[in-house]
Structure 1
Amino acid sequence: MYLLPFPLFAQTWGLKDCIEYGLKNNRNTIVYENEKKAADAKAKEALSDYLPKISLTGTLDDNLKVQESIIPAGVFGPTDIRVAFSQKYNTNGSAQLDQTIYDQSLLNGLKANKYSRQQADLNVKQSQETIIYNIGNAYYQIYVYREQLRLLKSNLETYRKQMEVYKLQVEKGVTLKKDLDKVTVDYNNAVSQIRVSESNLALAENQLKYEMGFPMASELPVDSVSQKDVMPVVLKTPGNTSFEVGNRVDYQLSTVNSKLLEIDQQRIKAGWLPKLTGYARYGANGFGSTIGPAFSELNAYSAVGLKLSIPLFDFFKRNAQYSQAKYKSLNAIENLKLDEGKYTLEYENARTKMVKAESSLESDKRNIELAQSVFKTTDLQFRKGVENLTEWLNAQNSIKESQNNYLNSLYSYLQARLDLEKASGGLKTFYTSL
């Protein structure tokens, strides 16, 4: 085993491996997970408004000039009497417990917690679908560029062999140098195309690393063997495929947003209702001409009670707020109907493109085989001297043109496949079925 090459033991990354890694390491996953935790914290904050609250208060007053009150003449004597009901130092400490007994606006706010959590979960799911789509797109680009390189190198080898033949013929004087130059020009063009394709392949690999959250400096050996099965894995798109708009995460998010706006409308309306709060207070205060007795000689007191709050004169402001919330809620309902039509249209368009892409891909693949068959015949006739170089080059150019059409159809097919999965809301199913 030590004598075997190391690459045999290196991990190769298939599409499912890339997506699995991306779902764990893409930075967007962390962002939306944090937003989910923030939504949970916000739900706890809303609940805390209905839980008991305890507050402690302590004061120390140094009355630089003690306030005096006047007892009018005739009460305790014939003249006014000035009396101070406090001393120079005054301390006061108390603890108070407040408990909301009834507040309909808070109760309506608690209903929003359920939908806020759903919204955070859907944001995470939407982020995952975006990661799956972007990784799939980058992965398929790598496949197409590798396929392009394979075809270009095959063409290059054909030109190279023909150049070797012409070099010998030019040296023997049986062929003009201009014929060698014609083949050399096509050879150089193929070399240039290979360089461009290699550059595009490197860019696609970097894009895949970025979408996965994979270190840019590390090598990512994408599996090219299993990609031979990229074509047959998808069956013919059925003509009677049903579409459920509720499967789209975008639509689910819009539905949750509509519920939140409806609850916000109810919360504002409930602000007109009375609020009832109960409280219990216990404290002590002290007085003294010096600071010591103000702390040592304390007088305890306690109280329990109810507080009823009835809003009376904020009608115009609250009515304006309610109207805003009402129309936002109505617009959210209308937008849901618009979204239903929009997502249905996206699905139908994606399905149509998928059917067309399948047909074009099969046709272009057969066309390559036909062009290669024509070239073999032309090449044989050319070697026998029946055909000239122009016909040979034209046949080879027909192969290159059919290859370009095939590569364009291949990428369109793979893109249409992802778009159809996205439009139907099945990207997670697509990932798990790989």
Structure 2
Amino acid sequence: MKNMFSNSLLASLVLTLGVGPMAQAQTPASLAPQPGTSPMSLSLTQAVRYAVTNKSSLLATRLAEQTAAAKVGEIKAQGLPQLNIGANVADNFKLQKSLVDVGAFGGGGSTVTPLTAADIAAAQAGQTVNIAPVSLPAVPLPPQAIAFGLQYAGNTSASFSQQLFDGSYLIGLKAAKVYQELSKKQTQQAEIDVVEQVSKAYYSTLVARSRLVLLARNVQRLDTVLYQTNQTFKAGFAEKLDVDRLRVQRNNLVVEQQKAQRLTELSVALLKFQMGLPQSQPVQLTDSLGAAVVDAGNLRRHLGVASFGTGAGPDGLGNVPTAPAGLGQNATGGAPAPGINTGQGPQAQAAFNYNNRIEFSTLETQQALAGLDLRNRQSGAYPRLSLTAAYGFIGSSNSVKDLFAFRGPESRNGNGFPNQNWFGFGNVGLALNIPVFDGFRRRYQVQQARIAQQTIEKGMETLRQSIDLQDAQSRTNLVNALDVLDNQKANLDLAADVARVTRIKFNAGVGSNIEVITAETSLRESQTNYYAAIYDVLVAKVDRDKATGELYQQAK
């Protein structure tokens, strides 16, 4: 188990680095990195706050939230009065003609008065001439092609409409608000993920940094033993083989120290990435590993389980308690006896509040949206009523200059005749639209909406089962991690005591060099296992808080 801590931490780094693309985020003035300045001091709370404020992925999520708010305004605007103003000018360079039955305007025979040359001569001679009118038969006229309008024409108008009743609009208002709420919950979900990632990265950095300090102390202690052994060898009371063994041990320890140094640097780089902090910005963690380690006793009492070894908390180790017959049941087979661990904590035995999990709350909001969509499809059969109005002017002329003269009804030409070229018009009314038959399109849309709603209901049931599993799994993992931590702490104390006694015996000349090397190796393995156990407990605690929905509240 010598490399268990390094392997587990490296694995967590690799898995976490794959969460998404890296992008620099905006930086608040309070924590803005200044080139060439001192390192940024960060506690876990500050790191989480910075990440929630500046992580680029969260900024993109908040932009989507703003888009949802704008969508609500767009839907509300559909129910407000709609006013439009338009103008148009056209050059009818080739006027369209229409056939007109001119005979329909009147007709029949015509009367003419014939006048001959003799009649004219008699009239000039002063004689009276009687001219009798002659009636001509009616001649039918074919339809005539007539062009209406003038070459240049223009119009300008203002139109108004107000929606009076539309079932889809009313449901759309409700859906818009629910959609905005869904967007906020999705942002909260993204924030929870960021809090989890930053917390784990911060803890891994604390553990790696503490282990690096401990390795440096081990190197110093081994250097002392090596120096004493070398002096003893020079005095002729030790063999060269003892010195060489210690040198080999020191070389291996130095290599392990270098690997731990690189691992610590990688942990810091991961923390910066999860925070959205530029890699060039130096940081200094202000929290200590001792302050981050959870109170195992209180945590066990909260979980409702016994501690490993003692059954009463992390203090001391004793005999592991044995469960009575019946796996925790009383003699009558009823409820478990008081104080016996049943594997379920008090909060697990009570009804679990699924709404504490943002995933479940988000799915409930999606279900509400699906219900509103179904109602919207059904409301497509309702009538729609709108108020409409329009007012404008239209004009025409044979020249552009004359078109823009804008002559009204009082205008007269040189001969005193009306010379108006622009005329006003207006209307107001109600528009009623009653859907009658759409080829069963709405029927199939309603079916699809019902299926979508049923699909979400099945998804909620699956999510409930998944949350139950995560709750039980996170609880078990945390309990196991606490038990392993107790065990590794006891092993570390024993290994440290064995190494201390072995060094005393070796310095007194009653112990061998092999015993010292073996004891030091066991001590380092115990230290590695102990720090790995601490990291596992911290990660299991984060997973547990996320499974119960408490992680986000703690971060806030």
Shared fold (TM-score greater than 0.5)?
yes
Instruction: State TM-score, norm by structure 1.
Output: 0.92
Q: Which amino acid aligns with 1:220?
A: V
Q: 1:13 aligns with which of 42, 46, 52?
A: 42
Q: Does 1:265 align with 2:374?
A: yes
Q: Which residue of 1 aligns with 2:396?
A: 287
CA separation in 1, counterparts of 2:203 and 2:104? Answer: 103
Q: Is the 8 A contact 1:286 1:293 kept in 2?
A: no
Match of 1:247 in 2: 356
In 2: Cα distance, 1:46 partner to 1:37 partner:
15
Q: Alignment partner for residue 404 of structure 1, among 528, 550, 553?
A: 528
Shift of 1:414: 0.5
Q: Which residue of 2 aligns with 1:230?
A: 292
Superposition pairs for residues 303-342 of structure 1, below 5 Å?
A: 303-342=427-466
In structure 1, give the amino acid aligned to 2:153.
Answer: N
Q: CA RMSD in A?
A: 2.0
Match of 1:387 in 2: 511
The structural deviation recorded for 1:319 is 2.7
Indicate conservation of the 8 Å contact 2:215/2:257, yes or no. yes
Residues 357-412 of structure 1 show CA distances to partners (whole Å, capped at 9, x for unaligned) of: 11211221121111111222222223333332222222222212211221111110
Partner of 2:136: none
Q: Which residue of 1 aligns with 2:105?
A: 75
Please tell me the residue identity of whatever aligns with 1:128.
E
For structure 1, list consecutive stretches of 5 or more residues without a partner in the other structure: 1-8
Q: Deviations over 1:160-219 (max 9, x none)?
A: 112112222333343222221111111111111111111111111111122223332222
Whichever residue aligns with residue 163 of structure 1, its letter is: L
Change (3 A) 1:167 1:107: same
Q: Structure 1 residues 12-21 or 402-411, which shifts more?
A: 12-21
Identity %: 27
Counterparts of 1:142 and 1:65, CA distance in 2: 83
Partners of 2:210 and 2:289 within 8 A in 1: no
Q: Number of paired residues?
A: 423
1:205 corresponds in structure 2 to: 268
Distance change (3 Å), C-alpha of 1:74 and 1:370: closer
Shift of 1:33: 2.1
User: How much does 1:287 deviate?
Assistant: 1.9
Residue 300 of structure 1 corresponds to which residue in structure 2?
424
Q: Take 1:168 and 1:136, find their aligned partners in 2: how far apart are those partners?
A: 48
User: Once the 2 structures are TM-superposed, how far is the Cα of residue 327 of structure 1 from its aligned partner?
Assistant: 0.9
Matched, 1:190 2:253: yes
1:256 Cα shift?
Answer: 0.8
Cα separation, 2, equivalents of 1:85 and 1:10: 85
- Which of the residues 65, 71, 77 maps onto 1:42? 71
Higher helix share: 1
Q: TM-score, normalised by structure 2?
A: 0.72
Residues of 2 paired with 1:378 and 1:166: CA distance?
14
Q: Which amino acid aligns with 1:42?
A: K
Q: Report the residue type matching 1:188 in the other structure.
A: N
Distance in 2, Cα, partners of 1:64 & 1:384? 121
Q: Does 1:178 align with 2:241?
A: yes
| Amino acid of the structure 1 residue aligned with 2:363 | S
Partner Cα distance (2:371, 2:42) in 1: 47
Q: CA deviation at 1:331?
A: 0.3
Query: Does residue 121 of the first structure (1) align with residue 184 of the second (2)?
Result: yes
Question: Does the 8 A contact of 1:159 with 1:184 survive in 2?
Answer: no
Contact 1:245 1:344 in 2 (8 A): no
CA shift for structure 1 position 281: 0.5
Structure 2 equivalent of residue 4 of structure 1: none
3-state SS in 2 of match to 1:236? helix
Query: 1:11: Cα distance to partner?
Result: 6.6
